[in-house]
Structure 1
Amino acid sequence: MQKKYYAIVDIGSNTMRLVIYLQEKAGKLREVENVKAVARLRNHLDDEGLLTKTGIDILISTLKSFKEVAETYHLTNTVCVATATIRQAKNQTEIQQKIQEETGYEMKILSGHEEAFYGYLAVVNSTAVTEGITIDIGGGSTEVTYFKSRNLLESHSFPFGALTLNQFFKHEQPLDDEIAELRDFLSKQFDSLPWLKSRAVPLIGIGGSARNLVQIDQNKKAYPLAGLHQYKITETDIKEISDYLGSLSLSKLEKVEGLSSDRADIIFPVIEVFHSLYQYIEAESFILSRKGLREGVFYEQLSKGLGTFLFPNVLEDSIQELINDFDLNPKQILHVQFLTRRLFFEFSNQDIGFLTDEDWMDVKRASYVFNLGEYIDSESSSQHTFYLLANRTIDGLLHLDRLKLALIASFKNKTVFNQFIDPFKDWFSKNEQKKLRLLGSILKFTYCLDATKRQIVEDIKVTSSEKTVNITLYCNQTWMPEEYQSEKQKKHLEKAIKKNITLEFVDTTN
């Protein structure tokens, strides 16, 4: 099957980007090329609101270089969009004509509402957040939206961005009165939108400035997981970063780990916007979305004909991607999940392990991808499973939930589990660690009950006494391989529940 590639050219006020996407088997888009140019077109708007000849020349030459890269792919579709600076330029028609003549690109100039809408669309189709406020700070504008039950309720585009806000600071290191003046300005801007005040929902940051904020935080904490998407921080984290950056000269800012050197001179006012809005809406957390305007444009295209812009279940789609990518057996997955459900609720009914509905969701999720690392190497399957799941972006899962998934789905034994969880011990209480080990041992045991992938175990019954748990397994075929594997692996479950386990296999064909 021929691969389908899509391209988007994003003409921003600060940067321009060409991004190439490959459409996956499950229908989603995966980024395969990302070319960035720091054009700072906003600085080339003159006093009359015209983009100068110099600015147009930079724009055209950058687009020509993008086109050379794009032509190395067989593209199904190319979209070229422009945001605040071109939107505000009074000679935008002339700019559009020149771009068409010299590059062949048909540039669409997005309204402030469209820009905000695409950011919202990217967030709700790539995270599990159902209610929140998004913010995307560009070079010349700032878009905010409010959504609830995944539906867009409010949106607005402020006519200020990272480049324009820099005018508040006349010194290399910001002064207290300059910061106070910026905060007062932002407060008045936010007051113009009554729907922002005291929402007490997550604040979701989109775009390069939000990415830099999160990268700085991760480097400062020596964060042990890979990935930025759906990373969560608090107001304290934002304030500490703001205080830290505000104390540095420009030359030192350019060397800060996680901060792009081309944003060093504009990052401080941006952080102040995040901090001020966080306080204004009384946010419960700040979450980064790596998916933004560009992804939103294509989410709109991919959803044409569906009657809705919203994908029904973000996490299910991500799990399906994993199943496809690692060639997992759907029939086996469904049977292991069925067995896991039966054993889980039998344990729950017998008051073994203090299991909850939330625990079931965790182990159910892991049952889709248990032992996924076998695709790479069967001997070190557990290690590969943990690394792949812990360090791969999974839309719909925050980092903590992604780590829980990795720990349960990679379970091999207590020793290996302790090795995996060791860098993250502070993330979980002792009881939470024991629960994750129990869930992992349950899943490993039920996986062994389908050792030959014949789905021979039809049902499970559990009885329990003070020291012993008896598990009866009802089978429709000969069970010798399953009996061997389950007898071999039950010790991990025994350690987790602190009881001896006896297994009884029953023939259902007589």
Structure 2
Amino acid sequence: MDGAQSGDNEEYGPFGRPLFNDPKAKALSRVGTIDVGSNSVRLVVFDGAARSPAYFYNEKIMAGLGADMRETGRLSVEGRARALSALKRFALLCKGMNVSPMTAVATAAVRDAEDGPEFCEEVARETGINLWVASGTEEARLSAQGVFLGWPEAQGLMCDIGGSSMELAEVGDGVVGKRVTSELGPLKLMGMKGGHKARKAVIDATITDLRDDMPRDYKTIYLVGGSWRALARLDMERRGYPLKVLHEYRMTSKSVLQTVKWIRGKSVDELRAITGNSEARMRLVPIAAQVLKSLIQRFKPEALATSSYGIREGLLYEQMPFELKRRDPLIEACRWDEAKNARIPGFGRQLHKFLAPIFGKVPHERARLIRAACLLHDVSWRAHPDYRAEVCFDNATRANLGGLDHAGRIFLGVALLHRYKNSRDGTRFDDLFGLLPPKDLKRAEILGKAMRFGAMFSVERPELMGELKWQPKKRVLTFELHPETKGLFGEVAQARLNSLAASLEADIVVK
């Protein structure tokens, strides 16, 4: 994907031509989406680097539209009133933020309710919002597109659980494949007669049918939906996992089954105290856990990946031109950040070229992390100098970035920390460093120190930066100065070169 999307032209090299200022991309700089679900009603306004969504505004109401569906076949009276009130507010907010375009989609509760069409008419009359009622398979497609927004190379099965339904969709090679829908939403399952035993029988039978419809082997299941995210947070807490970022959090089937068992011994109040989620969300989690246990037992995935992106992000992805969809969300977001916040926008590309000889040919995943680090190397310069290194680490590990797994976050964070600080000693991140293998920690340190040295030569013409040469077998690092810029190589630059060489366990030659 990388070579195709970068356009490897002479001017931009592996970075490709910037797209965020392209008119088609700028048209997506303030996009609003409203998701009217069975449990929640949410407004999200995206802004900035469209390929990696920045959340300009995000508000959710736990309306519970589908709370009475099993008993009455109609939308909850209280939920309907709360949803309408929220939509009135959202319409005014969108007007005030000059949001265009704005898309509103309703899912299972409105789709299945006897009074769903009446509710849509009322919403249009009272707010001016035209709700698009998505079918189950369309809901699956949009949620799967949300997965592609964060994981362009996703391969496996997307599983989206809402309040009143659960959808599955095959994802791979940038294409959404077969899609199926079911009524396995915890809000709908909650009201079943017969309690736990009857509910388990329905869940197991339904998932058996779903497995027959989706017979392929899926190594990874991408989990979309609030109940899955709450369950993933509980898995983090049970394991004592230190990085509290849900997107790209990966679990094994064994770990999830242990968490499901652990949840059964907790009350809703105890679960709320652990996660901070609302009571309306947490009372659904034990039922969602039942569904996930059955899903794992029948589909037998190697890994389950938590996605913070879903139907709303899928609606944004739907509006992207093809060229933008093919871009790397991490690199696009980093380029946007550099353009907005760096002291010398564009220098990241020069810095990358300068230090590339140290790394030579590396795997694709590490290559893109090196590029991302170079783009971000100076975007946090406004932070207080005493805390700049820690701010860089926090920004990288906790930023809302797509296309970046947890190991990648730590790698990027450590590299940017060393951009401003030689040592990791005395920081508050020791538990997070442990998520990265020692060899990768060392590689990130070398990258950070290379950027720290290269930043001393931020000249207008790249060729004046001088040239680094690395002979790994001989352990010799050579720095050839350019005659016009020899004066830049002072005491501080020498000290930074010494630190880089120490991390490489190299001798230094300066010419």
Taking structure 2 as the reference length, what is the TM-score of the superposition?
A: 0.83
Q: CA offsets per residue over residues 458-495 of structure 1, 9 Å max, x none? A: 534456896x7351415151311135443121221232
Q: In structure 2, what is the Cα distance between the partners aligned to 1:235 and 1:169?
A: 29
CA offset at residue 82 of structure 1? 1.0
- C-alpha contact 2:339 2:346 (8 A) present in aligned 1: no
1:436 is aligned to 2:450: no
Once the two structures are TM-superposed, the CA of residue 137 in structure 1 deviates from its matched residue by 0.8
User: What does residue 467 of structure 2 align with?
Assistant: 459
Tell me the residue number matched to 1:312: 327
Q: Is the 8 A contact 2:108 2:136 kept in 1?
A: yes
Identify which of 339, 342, 359 aligns with 1:344: 359
Tell me what 2:43 maps to: 18
Separation (CA, whole Å) in 2 of partners of 1:102 and 1:159: 30
State the match for 1:184 in structure 2: 204
Task: State the alpha-carbon separation in 1 of the partners of residues 318 and 271 from structure 2.
Answer: 38
Letter in 1 for 2:63: A
The residue that corresponds to 1:194 in the other structure is 214
How many residues in Structure 1 have an aligned counterpart in Structure 2? 484
Q: What residue in structure 2 maps to residue 80 of structure 1?
A: 104
Structure 1 unaligned runs (5+)? 349-354, 505-510
CA distance in 1, matches of 2:67, 2:202: 20
1-structure distance, mates of 2:405, 2:50: 21
1:381–1:256 distance in 2 versus 1, CA, 3 Å: closer
Cα displacement (A) at 1:107: 1.6
SS in structure 2 at match of 1:147: strand
Q: Which residue of 1 aligns with 2:248?
A: 230
- Kindly state the Cα deviation for residue 149 of structure 1 after the two structures are TM-superposed: 1.0
Secondary structure in 2 aligned to 1:387? Answer: helix
Deviation at 1:106, TM superposition (A): 1.4
Instruction: Indicate yes or no: 2:348 matched with 1:333.
Output: yes
Counterpart residue number, 2:174: 150
Structure 2 partner of 1:268: 286
User: Secondary structure, in 3 states, of the residue corresponding to 1:10?
Assistant: strand
In the alignment, is the contact (CA less than 8 A) between 1:371 and 1:410 conserved in 2? no
Alignment partners' CA distance in 2, 1:189 and 1:465: 58
Paired with 1:464 and 1:59, the residues of 2 have a C-alpha distance of: 63
Mapped to 1, the partners of 2:81 and 2:368 lie a distance apart of 55
- Look up the SS of the partner of 1:43 in the other structure: coil
* Cα distance change of structure 1 residues 185 and 361 upon mapping to structure 2, 3 Å threshold: same
Q: How has the CA–CA distance of structure 1 residues 208 and 484 changed in structure 2, closer, same or farther, with 3 Å as cutoff?
A: same
Q: Is the 8 A contact 1:128 1:315 kept in 2?
A: no
Deviation at 1:433? 3.1
**Cα offset for 1:291?**
1.4
- The residue aligned with 1:352 is none
TM-score normalised by length of structure 1: 0.84
The answer to whether structure 1 residue 482 and structure 2 residue 489 are counterparts is: yes
The verdict on how the C-alpha distance between 1:322 and 1:274 changes in structure 2, with shifts beyond 3 A counting, is farther
1:109 is aligned to: 133
Q: Deviations over 1:396-422 (max 9, x none)?
A: 001111110111122145523673652
Matches within 5 A, 1:2-401: 5-19=30-44, 21-24=45-48, 29-45=53-69, 49-51=73-75, 56-167=80-191, 174=196, 177=197, 181-182=201-202, 184-195=204-215, 197-200=216-219, 202-301=220-319, 303=320, 306-307=321-322, 310-327=325-342, 329-345=344-360, 360-378=367-385, 380-401=387-408
1:307-334 Cα deviation digits (max 9, x unpaired): 5783432222122232134235344222
Moved more, 404-413 or 42-51: 42-51
Percent identity between the aligned chains?
A: 20
Structure 2 alignment gaps of length 5 or more? 1-25
Question: Contact conserved, 1:46 with 1:52, CA < 8 A, in 2?
Answer: no
- Measure, in 1, the Cα distance between the counterparts of 2:283 and 2:295: 21
C-alpha distance 117-389 of structure 1, shift in aligned 2 (>3 A): same
Aligned CA distance change for structure 1 residues 378 and 437 (closer, same or farther; 3 Å): same
SS at match of 1:39: coil
SS of corresponding position for 2:129 = coil
Task: From the superposition, tell whether residues 278 and 314 of structure 1 become closer, same or farther in structure 2 (CA, over 3 Å).
Answer: farther
How far has the Cα of 1:22 moved from its partner? 4.4
Larger relative contact order (CA 8 Å, sep ≥ 6): 2
Query: What amino acid does structure 1 have at the position aligned with 2:260?
Result: S
Post-superposition Cα deviations, 1:350-407, rounded to whole Å, max 9, x if no partner, equal: xxxxx87765554343222224322434564323222211221221001111110111
Distance in 2 (alpha carbons) for counterparts of 1:410 and 1:219: 26
Q: Which segment is superposed worse, 183-192 or 101-110? A: 183-192
Measured against aligned partners, the alpha-carbon deviations of 1:420-476 in whole angstroms (never above 9, x if no partner) come to 65223432344443333333333333333x15555313534456896x735141515
Structure 1 pair 113–407 and aligned structure 2 pair: CA distance change class (3 A): same
Question: Which whole-Å deviations, capped at 9, do the CAs of 1:326-353 have from their partners, x for residues lacking one?
Answer: 23534422221111112333xx8xxxxx
User: Secondary structure at the residue paired with 1:419?
Assistant: coil
- The structure-2 alpha-carbon separation of the partners of 1:254 and 1:472, relative to structure 1 and needing over 3 Å to count, comes to closer
RMSD: 3.3
CA distance in 1, matches of 2:347, 2:38: 51
**In the aligned structure 2, how far is the partner of 1:327 from the partner of 1:425?**
26
Cα distance 1:417–1:389, how it changes in 2: closer, same or farther (>3 A)?
farther
Whichever residue aligns with residue 147 of structure 1, its letter is V
Q: For 1:24-63, what per-residue CA distance to the aligned partner results, in whole angstroms no more than 9, with x for missing partners?
A: 1667643233332223222344767444766654543443
1:120, distance to aligned residue in structure 2 (A): 0.9
**In the superposition, relative to structure 1, how do residues 228 and 477 fare at CA in structure 2: closer, same or farther (>3 Å)?**
same
Q: Secondary structure at the match of 2:309?
A: coil
CA deviation vs aligned residue, 1:175-233 (integer Å, no higher than 9, x gap): xx4575255324323233134x4322x21111211121122233344543353222222
SS at match of 1:397: coil
SS of match in other structure, 2:217: coil
